[in-house]
Amino acid sequence: MITVKSIKEAWMEADRLFPTDYMKDEQASANAGYPIYMSTAEGNGSWISDLNTSLELNIQKGKKLETVRIVIEDEPEITEEKVITADSVRSCCIKHNLYTKGTCRDYDFMLNFIDVQGYSLKNLLEIAEDICKHSEDQTIENVMFLLGKDAVTTFYHINR
């Protein structure tokens, strides 16, 4: 068994291992329910079965048939989703004694911005700048770190 990471890589490996040229056999494919590629060489009974997640090479060697399976293990697609909410920022500010110099109106404006705009690095910077402006002895980088640690939730989605 041979393992590859893509369909293209599987066919490249099949081309390397298969002893002859090959062509799709429509009748054999219809009978099998998946594509079958037969050797084009006279008297050679070799064929390739395209099983979608693997290729099965059936190579005739004299009177024997050798089978080689090329398994396709696609890399999963992984996406990352980050979410920030007004409640999570409020909790972070309380936990770290932030936004102690702002008015209720300033605070409400910032929390509303979060609910409307959601997460992006640009928005995180803007929120951190607003918190720094209304807090004592904080740097923007530190507030961004605190928000990232305590107010941003990360979700991972894996598609195979």
Q: Has residue 77 got a pLDDT over 90? A: no
| pTM for the structure as a whole | 0.59
Average pLDDT over residues 12-21: 94
Predicted pLDDT at 63 = 87
pLDDT tens for 41-66 read 998 999 999 998 999 999 998 889 99
pLDDT tens for 127-158 read 999 999 999 999 999 999 999 999 999 999 99
Predicted pLDDT at 59 = 95
Which helix (H) or strand (E) element contains residue 130? helix 121-133
> Rounded distance, CA 6 to CA 53, Å?
9
For residue 70, report the phi and psi dihedrals to the nearest 5 degrees.
Answer: -110, 110
Average pLDDT across the chain, whole number? 95
Predicted pLDDT at 159 = 83
pLDDT tens for 108-119 read 999 999 999 999
> Rounded distance, CA 46 to CA 40, Å?
9
| Chain-centroid distance, C-alpha 89 | 28
Q: Where are the domains of the chain?
A: 2-72, 77-159
